[in-house]
Amino acid sequence: MMSAVRYSDFLLALTEESHPGADLPRGVFLQMKLGSMMKNYFFIDTEEGLIELRKHLYNEQVKIVGMDLEADYSRHGYGEKLCLIQLYDGKEVYLIDALAVSEEEVCTTLTHKQFIKVFFDAGSDMALVYRLYGIVMYPVIDLHTIAGVLDTNVGGLNSVLSRYLAVQVSETKKKYQKSDWRTRPLPPDAAAYAAGDVRHLIDLYTILIKSIEDRGLVGELANAMERRRFQPDRQSRRSRNLENRLNALSHSQRLLFDRIKAIREGFAMIENRPKEHIICKELLFDIACGRRSVVGVKPPKSIRKDLREAFRSRLVEACEVQQNIRGNYEKVAG
C-alpha cells in the first residue's frame, strides 16, 4: 500500500542535530526514522513544507524535475480547481496539495526558473494554470512533442513508456481521470497513481533526447517545440466552436442566453455543483433559440426544494423580461 509522509517530518529528520542514529549514513537513518513510508512519496500540505521543498531542490542543485497536475474540471463541484502537483526530482516523488497552500506559493513553484519541468502532453495543464492564475508555467519540456518527432504515432504516456523504457503501467488512467481529486485525505490508490505518473519522466526524457541526437533530429525538435509552444491567446477548437455558435444567435437570443447562463452560474456556486448539473449547455441554447420552454425545465431533485422553485422562478422571469424587451423594441421599430 502506498503511504504518505508530510514533508515537514522528512525535513525534521534531515535537520535534527542529535538523535540516536546521528552516526549512521543519512539514508540508513531516514530508513529507521520513516520506515517504509520514505520509499513511496512525500505529501506536502503546508506552505512551509512547499518552501522547504524548493530550498531542498536548490541545495541539491536539481535542474530538472518530472511534473504532472491533477485537477477538477468542474466535474464534481463548482468551478475548475488545481488539486495536486506531482513532482519527481530524480530520487523522490512529492505530492503537493494545491488546495491547501496559497496561490502565491503554487505560482512560485510552477514558474520557478531553477528547474526545468518535464511533462507529458502539457497543453491542457498549461491552459488550466493560465485560466486559474493568469501565469504561464516555465520552463517546460513536453515529452509528447519529443516523442512525436521520433514517431508520429505517439499514443499516450503508457505506450511511450512501454516502447522506450519497457515499463508496463496498469491501464487505470480513465478511472482516475474521473476521480474527485478534491477528496482529502487523498485515497491511497489515487496517491499511488499520481506518484506513478511522474516517476519515469526524467528517465524517459533522457532516452528520448538521446534518440533525437543520435538520429540528427535536433532541428526538427526545435521547430516542433516552437509550433506547440503555449500561447495564452490561442483558442482551443472547443472554444472556437462555442464562439461560432454564440455569434450565430440573434441579439435578443444572445441576451437571453447570457441571462440564463448567469442564473445557472449563481445557483451552481450556491450549491457547489458543476454548472452542467444545474442546466446543460445544450438546453441553454435550446431555450435561447425558442426550441424549448423554461416551463418544463426541472433542476436536479438533489437540490433543495426551495432552491429548485427559486431557480425555475428566475428562469421564467428572465424569459418574460426578454419578451418585454423584444415587444417594446418591435413597437418602437413599428
Three-class DSSP category at 97: strand
Q: Check residue 234 and give its pLDDT.
A: 75
For residue 5, list its beta bridge partners: 42
316: alpha, beta or left, given left = phi > 0 and alpha = psi -120 to 50? alpha
User: What amino acid is encoded at 284 in this protein?
Assistant: L
Q: What is the pLDDT of residues 114-123, one digit of tens each?
A: 999 999 999 9
Residue (of 151, 157, 150, 149) closest to 225 by Cα position: 149
* Residue 13's pLDDT band (cuts 50, 70, 90): very low
pTM of the model: 0.77
Residue (of 102, 93, 82) closest to 4 by Cα position: 93
In this structure, of 35-49, 53-67, 144-158, the range with the lowest mean pLDDT score is 35-49
| Alpha-carbon span 96 to 100, nearest angstrom | 9
Spell out the domains of the chain, with CATH numbers in brackets: 4-233 (3.30.420.10), 238-333 (1.10.150)
